[in-house]
Structures are given as C-alpha cells and as structure tokens.
Amino acid sequence: MSLINAGLDMSNPTGLGTGPAKEMDYFGEVFEIHITGDEKIHEVAKELGLKTIQVQLLRPDKSLIRTEHMTSIVKKFDYFEKAYQWTINTVIKLAEQCKIYRVKIESPPYPHYYYIALYAEVHFKNDSFNTPTSKNPTKDYYLGTERVPIGKINELKAKYPNEDLEICLMDNNIYEDVDWFNSYGVK
C-alpha cells in the first residue's frame, strides 16, 4: 500500500493544511528571523532588502555588556521547514560579506511546534532591571526578557497575559547570551 493510499500525502508531510490548522496554513504562518553578525551586517542586509536592528544587552546596573547587530525579519511561510530553508539561504548570502554569530527562528506559540521548540520567551517594557534587559538605541524604552523551557509556557502566558509570547524553533548558538542572563542571576 502506498503512503497516499494509506491517507498520508507525502507532498505535505507535516499534515498542515488539514483539520483545524487549515485556515492558518492557507494564510501562512508567521516567523521572526534574527541573524546576528558583525556590524557589517547592517550594510549587507540592506543590499538584500532586509531590516536590521541593534540591541544593547545591559547589566542590572545599566552598563553595557555588548551591542548585537542582527536582522529583524518577520515573514510568512507555509510551515517551519520553508522558513528554515529561506533562512539558511539568507545566511549563506550574508556570510559572503560579514561574520555570522547566531541564527534564530522564532514564531508565535503555535502548539504544533512545541515538540521542536527550544524555549518560550516574552519581551516587555521594563524599567526595573530585575530581569535581563536590553535596549534598541532607536527606541526610548527598555525591554525585559523572560525565557522558560517550553514545558513552562503556560506559566509564562499566565504571568504576561497581555504580552506577545514567542517560541524559539531554531537557535544555533543558544549559549551566546548566557553571560547576559547570568548577570541577572538567571541560570
């Protein structure tokens, strides 16, 4: 018996586009892509038509740990694998002209991706510096970050009911910001 005859259409191996996910799949799923590199990434990404940002990672005393330079791309794809492939192709183009340190793909908390999610996190306006805090130099406010294992996503939702949660589906250098989290006593 072939897979198609068994009801498994291998042209759509994720099963998206059937059942309750059909409407979401039809309109595409949202992914946020951060490719972190050296300062040259701003120039190279601009040539490719990609938006970039700077993020200052700050200690509790508001001193600077470092400034990160990254893409800030919000894009729709049919499903994660397509977002992943587009991201890898973009990294290859960027890496021809600048150093790349980290690649992250995030999405809203789509339950069908919990099984591959590395963690859940939320960013929120924060002046208290009681949680890892950062600042985009073009903005006039600070952002706090709280990150939890995916199994604790409901606790995060309850704690921040009015904030947008995201799940990280790919992070090739997850320890890159451990010094920032450690400066706040977060392990």
Tokens of 94: 């960027």
Distance CA 33, CA 62 (A): 27
Mean pLDDT (the chain, rounded): 88
CA atoms in the 13 A half-sphere facing the CB of 90 = 29
- Segment 48-75 shows an average pLDDT of 97
- Minimum mean pLDDT range among 16-30, 41-55, 76-90, 114-128: 16-30
pLDDT in tens, 129-161: 999 999 999 999 999 999 999 999 999 999 999
pLDDT in tens, 68-88: 999 999 999 999 999 999 999
Radius of gyration for the chain, computed over Cα atoms and rounded to the nearest angstrom: 18
pLDDT (0 to 100) of residue 1: 29
On the question of pLDDT at 64 being above 50, the answer is yes
pLDDT (0 to 100) of residue 25: 46
pLDDT (0 to 100) of residue 2: 30
On the question of pLDDT at 122 being above 80, the answer is yes
Distance CA 187, CA 165 (A): 20
H/E stretch holding 106 reads strand 100-107
- Higher local confidence (pLDDT), 172 or 28: 172
Determine the 3-state secondary structure of 157 from DSSP. Answer: helix
Q: Is the dihedral of CA 123, 125, 130, 134 positive or negative?
A: positive
Residue 35 φ then ψ, to 5°: -115, 110
On the question of pLDDT at 32 being above 90, the answer is yes
In the chain, what percentage of residues exceed pLDDT 90? 84
Distance CA 69, CA 42 (A): 7
pLDDT (0 to 100) of residue 187: 80
pLDDT (0 to 100) of residue 11: 41
